[in-house]
Amino acid sequence: MTDALRDEVRAWLAAHWTGPAADEAAARAWLAKVVEARWAVPRWPVEWGGRALPDAEARIIEAEFAALGAPGTGQDRTNLYANTLLAFGTQALKERLLLRMLRGEVPMCLLYSEPNAGSDLAGLRCRAERRDGQWVVNGQKVWTSYAAVAEYGMLVARTDWDAPKHRGISFFFCPMRQPGVEVRPLRQITGESRFNEVFLTDALIPEENLLGQPGQGWAVLQTALAYERSVMGEAARGPRSGVAEGTGEPPLIALAREAGRLGDPVLRQDLARVLAYRALNALNTARAKADLAQGTSSPLMSLGKLAMSRILHEEARLRTAILGPESLFEGPEHPRAEDANFLTLNAYFTSIGGGTDQIQRNIIGERVLGLPREPEVDRDLPFRQVRSQ
């Protein structure tokens, strides 16, 4: 079966893959072919465009695609929106959105954090009330990537104020293109505005867009966060110019070679340590994903996410050390320095997004190492009795 599957994938790629897409339309056309051939989500049930394959065989498909640089497969591990919808969505919502998501036709965003509910996300106060067969949402969200272009946002909102804070939350697919949704960009330290704050004023959500049961959205959220941390633990945004990329060797080594510092024994030791961290993190992430069954969460994902955060900070430090005084420059005429400074600042995104480093340490301590939970005096109180700032 393994050899037959590999031959089938290779033959299909030979017949259809012609190289990287020239534009967005071509990229989507390619994804449509991958979805139609059932390569996009091979672990998923056949009913939803998959092949119901075990992980070992799905990895064969991914390896053959990766060997040619062809995208589109492995979305049953990496597409956090589609995986969350498959696990918890209503039949009607899945029929309407799942295949479109796999084809890259549904831009999405995450409506989780609030101004006073970031690290303690269960303290959120965005309100959703059921009226006339639909949900009406009022509140504010912040640090939302792609909110300005999203068709839907995965929204957590409070629906029961008499339940304890973790048990009164519901999870929705919120339509973003409606009058009740206002998006305002936030300027970042890198000079970009990739994040936004979102204001919801009587925004409407159809009943079928509820994922899971009312008041049980915390469990849905944990699954969505596990997929998000998996992606963040496996990959991260690279430099903006990419001048040291594409040489066939790790970018840091290429940069050190170009700067004439690859013979420095102290620097070589630092480089070896970072490369070893990356290799170890890749193995840990693979282990965590192997343990992640559809519709569940895994605390092991927090290890990978925390490790990637530390790796990015260390790599940024090394870039600066390699460049020396040159790192003080900025602007397009100094692309290596521009990259080093951008990556130094952008490393904080991974330290914060998807749950801060401190939150990951709490999860690892409690759910991986079995240490006692931190005290929460308001954990079992009805939420309307919980004090707020």
Residue 269 half-sphere exposure, CB side, CA atoms within 13 Å? Answer: 2
* Token output for 241: 């110019």
Return phi, psi of residue 158, to 5°: -85, 130
CA-to-CA distance for 358 and 362, rounded, in angstroms?
6
Beta strands in the chain (DSSP E): 108-111, 127-131, 134-141, 152-158, 169-175, 181-186, 195-206, 210-211
Q: Is 179 helix (H, G, I), strand (E, B) or coil?
A: coil
d(C-alpha 125, C-alpha 169), whole Å: 10
- For residue 131, the SS3 value is strand
The catalytic position among 64, 114, 197, 228 is 228
Q: How many other C-beta atoms are found inside a 10 Å radius of the C-beta of residue 207?
A: 13
Q: Name the phi and psi angles at 278, rounded to 5.
A: -65, -45
Q: Comparing C-alpha atoms, which of 291, 219, 294 is closest to residue 50?
A: 294
Measuring CA to CA, which residue among 226, 221, 174 is closest to residue 200? 174
| CA neighbor of 383 nearest in space, from 124, 174, 206 | 124
Instruction: Give whole-number Cα distances, 378 to 115, 263, 382, in Å.
Output: 19, 57, 8
228 has catalytic annotation? yes
Paired tokens of 22: 């020239």
Round to whole Å and give the CA distance between 12 and 6: 10
Helix (H) or strand (E) holding 7: helix 2-16
CB 292, CB 301: distance < 8 Å: yes
Residues 6 or more apart whose CB falls under 8 angstroms from that of 278 comprise 311
How far is it, in rounded angstroms, from Cα 147 to Cα 263? Answer: 47
| Active-site annotation, residues | 228
